[in-house]
Amino acid sequence: MIRYSPELSAGLPVDDAVLLDAPDERLSPALVAAALGAYQPAAGLLAATREGAEWETRDRCLARLVTFAHSRDGWLTAWLTAAPRDPDALLVKAGLAVRRAWESPARAERLREVGPLISAAAQAQPGDPVPWRLALDHARGTHATHTVFEALWEQAVRRSPHHYGCHVAALRYLSAAWYGSHRECFDFAERAAEDALPDSLVQALPLRAASALLLDGDPAARTSAVHAERIDAAADLAIRLSAAYRPGDLWPAETRNLLAYVLVVRGRWGEALEQFRLIGPHATSFPWSSVSDDPLGQFLDARDGARLQVASATPLRSREGRGRARGHYA
């Protein structure tokens, strides 16, 4: 291990260079301005995603802006005061309300109260699927029936049939942790992946289903031979998807982090190490926060573990020019 560890570290950024949930070049200025109390860059960014129908980017930007507003919302208050009917401001307002309601001990009651805010965001921009992603998350938290959920799902896919965020929301509703089962979760994910566009992150949905099962506390579910086969097939599909993106790309970073986690759990160390190389410096909170209160530390530990496991399984190469063995010191 000592001999091969430096060699296997090639392509892996040093620990201090790894960042957790780093924003991209479009989002960074909006977050910096928001920290100073200015909403205009965030407004411009979301307006551009709306006007360009960049629904995936819009959803990701919304998630990061909501996370920031959760602790510092002065910029959002100023935005809503200046433009109370702005569809982008209404979307952030609804997203923040859903986030705060989810964290309340009275989750279902609080979520029901914020329902009108989601409706207002959806009505402000009728073609936008992102408010419907919020509606799907809202439905899960308010114990909506399958009939209600399916009606919301229909509205979401009508606006964007391959929207990744809406598919993830649906997968969560169908998970064993909520209102479905591991079988339903995998069935939905595998069908969606088959119908997905080339190189779409929707192809990673089976990997999401696999991680939900691996994070399940039921040992029988985790060790089932049928489930193990589906987990490995999901990982294989995600490996092919990961190969379609350049190393260090921020867009598939969360998918690659999730893939690395699943490969580590499955003991596929060499493949896991390759994903850590492709991840580069871009660690993401999910999935590591699901298994540790220190997601960055957990990422680094998993990366080191994969490197050392590969090193320990690498046979020592014979040295040329040695005529005979030299015992322990050969």
Instruction: Specify the CATH number for the domain of residue 135.
Output: 1.25.40
pLDDT of residue 112: 95
Residue 150 belongs to some domain of the structure:
yes
Apex 186 CA angle, 185 and 189, nearest 5: 85
Query: Are 114 and 217 in the same domain?
Result: no
Decide if 209 contacts 185 (C-beta within 8 A): yes
Residue 14 belongs to some domain of the structure:
no
Residue 179 belongs to some domain of the structure:
no
pLDDT of residue 224: 75
Residue 10 belongs to some domain of the structure:
no
Instruction: Say what the pTM is.
Output: 0.91
pLDDT of residue 9: 72
Q: What are the tokens at 209?
A: 């289903």
Cβ-proximal residues to 120 (8 Å cutoff; 6+ apart), any chain: 90, 94
Task: Specify the number of domains making up the chain.
Answer: 2
Residue 70 belongs to some domain of the structure:
yes
pLDDT of residue 99: 97
Structural domain that includes position 305: 203-314
Query: Are 153 and 215 in the same domain?
Result: no
Decide if 39 contacts 33 (C-beta within 8 A): yes
Query: Are 220 and 88 in the same domain?
Result: no
Low-confidence ranges of the chain (pLDDT < 70): 1-8, 217-223, 316-330
pLDDT of residue 322: 45
Query: What percent of the chain is predicted at pLDDT more than 90?
Result: 87
**CA–CA gap between residue 21 and residue 173 (Å, rounded):** 25
Decide if 111 contacts 40 (C-beta within 8 A): no
pLDDT of residue 225: 75
Residue 218 belongs to some domain of the structure:
yes
